[in-house]
Structure 1
Amino acid sequence: MKKNGVIILAVVCGIVLFAFAKAGFLQDKYYGVFIGISKEDGMKLNNYEVLVLEPTEFNKDDIKKLHEKNKKIYAYLNIGSLESYRQYYEKFKGKVLGNYENWKDEYWMDVSDKEWQNLVVDELGENIADKGFDGFFIDNCDVYYQFKDENIFNGLCSTLKGLQKYNLDIIINGGDTFVSKCIDEKIAKDMFDGVNQESVFTDIDFEHKTYNKKSIEEREYFTKYLKKVNSCGLKVFLLEYGADSKLKNEIERYCIENDFHWYNAKNIELR
């Protein structure tokens, strides 16, 4: 009887916890994106099992110490655009394709350029692997949406295939047009393990620097897209901005129902 009572109690507790989570009372602390955080603040992150960090802020010893508190750490790696503050900016600024809207210090990159691919794979990728990161958080595959050319698509594929040699997880941030094409061509799982989609439920007003609710039409597009991503066996993460308590509950329920994880950032600086 005692054993049965313990089992029943455990089941009841599980049901209660799930009900609370469904109601949005449990904040998902599994996943956090902090690519704008300083090293000092980054070393204080204790409550997340999965982190996304800017690799230039952390050395090998830092990652080792963070591993003692967090299970998995992804390194931010921008393969689709060139930032003016990177040390390699001067070398590659002549190969950009155009300005990046709302980001004045960033430019869309010609990812078909072999020299660029070599930089990303053999220098940036190797540095990240040597520091002990568990995976790559790949940004700006949206360059294929901006410049819908087969050379751009193939350049992204070549870069991602090159990064495979490090045997690290690869998460694609955004890039829905590129990811959808990869899924349709049945090559997605050969190149990456999951997707992080920004702003499924929230929206960023860059002009007024505020965060709003996504339109129903846009939200439906992304939820349909993420269902496609999930159905082919890829992991799904969401990155939202400034969701209020009511919207947080809605996002939490959606993620629980679909076995996704999400992070509610306070601002686009991701600190």
Structure 2
Amino acid sequence: MKKWLGLFGIILLGVALFFCFQVSGKKPSDYGVFIGMEKKDLLQLSKSYQTLVLDVTYLDKTDIKQLHFRSRQIFAYLNIGALETSNSFYQDFKDLTFKPYDNWPDESWIHVTDSAWQDFLVHQLAQSLKDKGVDGLFLDNFDVYDHDQRPEVYASLVQLLKEFQTMNLPVIINGGSTFVSQFLAEDPQLARQLIYAVNQESVFLAYDFDAGKPVQQTAEAEDFYLDYLNNLSQTGLQVFLIEYGADSHQAHQISKQCQDLNYTLYLAPSILLDRE
């Protein structure tokens, strides 16, 4: 009897908590991306998230554990295809850069075919992120393949994905449509095995860096992204979107479209991804 009473009590508690979350409006948000947020602000996020993407450079294992109390899965940002002057390892790899990064003056594209860079990404950066307790990796700048489409670059990116899978680190690829499309065309089974999800920025709103504000995406670009993402969705890959600086009307329209398409959306107030 005590066993059943205890079980009944747990059920009642669960129902009560669920009701409270619904009434208070504190149901976890699906997706949050805060790559530019300061540590003190990260540890004081006002919402809970199903999927949270962070730059965990200045976070430790205890911080990640704290964030896990309110977030189901945490993906750590990892810049695969570019090098930033602010990176602590910038001097070690600056000679591998080959082209400036448009609109981001402190960043340059890097030769991902270099074995030292690959080894550093896997055995130092990714391993340190795993040791902190993250659930997976948010891989940025696979668009390096757009700037250097040699077969060796493609093969290097695939090899990195295999390495991360060996480490039991699921990956979300940010952008990289040229690479992802080719990978799905050439080896769809392996692509689905190695890629947990794809994130795409600015499908509906482009960001005008000169004006410092979002503008309506061109019809051509929007159609391209929607066709591309539909193909990904049809193959079984999850689709995440980030849109920057939408006003209330735009936010409502974009949210409705993403809901209809079954895409997971984060409406970012800032291009710097530094605030909720």
User: Which residue is equivalent to 1:29?
Assistant: 29
Structure 1 SS opposite 2:52: strand
Is structure 2 residue 258 aligned with structure 1 residue 255?
A: yes
* Residue-pair matches, total: 246
Asked whether the equivalents of residues 28 and 261 of structure 1 are also in contact (C-alpha less than 8 Å), the reply is no
Structure 2 Cα separation of the partners of residues 206 and 163 of structure 1: 33
Identity of aligned residues (%): 41
Alignment pair present for 1:199 and 2:202: yes
- The one-letter code sitting in structure 2 at the alignment partner of 1:245 is S
Q: Tell me the distance in 2 between the aligned counterparts of 1:74 and 1:238.
A: 15
Distance in structure 2 (CA, Å) of the matches to 1:157 and 1:191: 9
1:145, 1:177 within 8 Å by CA — same for their partners in 2?
yes
Cα displacement (A) at 1:262: 0.7
Q: Match of 1:115?
A: 116
Alpha-carbon RMSD across the aligned residues, in angstroms, is: 1.5
Q: Which amino acid aligns with 1:229?
A: L
Distance (whole Å) between structure 2 residues aligned to residue 205 and residue 258 of structure 1: 26
**Which of 210, 213, 217 is 1:210 aligned to?**
213
Q: State TM-score, norm by structure 2.
A: 0.86
CA distance in 2, matches of 1:53, 1:28: 17
Which structure has more relative contact order (CA 8 Å, sep 6+)? It is 1
Instruction: Say whether the 8 Å CA contact 1:237–1:261 is kept in structure 2.
Output: yes
Amino acid at match of 2:208: D
Is contact 1:28-1:252 (8 Å) kept? Answer: no
Q: Which residue of 1 aligns with 2:8?
A: none
Contact 2:141–2:174, Cα closer than 8 Å, also in 1: yes
* Range that drifts further, 156-165 or 110-119: 156-165
Structure 1: gaps (5+ residues): 1-16, 18-26
What is the aligned partner in structure 1 of residue 81 from structure 2? 80
Give the Cα–Cα distance (whole angstroms) in 2 for the partners of residues 190 and 121 of structure 1: 18
Q: Which runs of 5 or more structure 2 residues have no equivalent in the other structure?
A: 1-21
Alpha-carbon shift at residue 47 of structure 1 (Å): 2.7
> Distance in 2 between the 1:132 and 1:47 partners?
18
Deviation at 1:58, TM superposition (A): 1.0
Deviation per CA, 1:27-52, whole angstroms, max 9, x where unpaired?
A: 99210100000111001123322110
Contact 1:142–1:177 at 8 Å: present in 2 too? yes
Residues 210-263 of structure 1: CA distance to partner in whole angstroms, max 9, x if unpaired?
Answer: 111111111111001000111111111000001112221221111111211111
Deviations 1:147-168 (A, max 9, x none): 1111111111111111112212
Q: CA deviation at 1:114?
A: 0.7
Question: Which residue in the other structure is 2:103 paired with?
Answer: 102
Q: Which amino acid aligns with 2:258?
A: C
4+ long deviations beyond 2 Å: none
> AA paired with 1:264?
L
Q: TM-score with structure 1 length normalisation?
A: 0.88
Residue identity opposite 2:31 in structure 1? Y
Q: Is the 8 A contact 1:72 1:134 kept in 2?
A: yes
Deviations 1:120-145 (A, max 9, x none): 01100000100000110000000001
Aligned residue for 2:29, secondary structure, equals coil
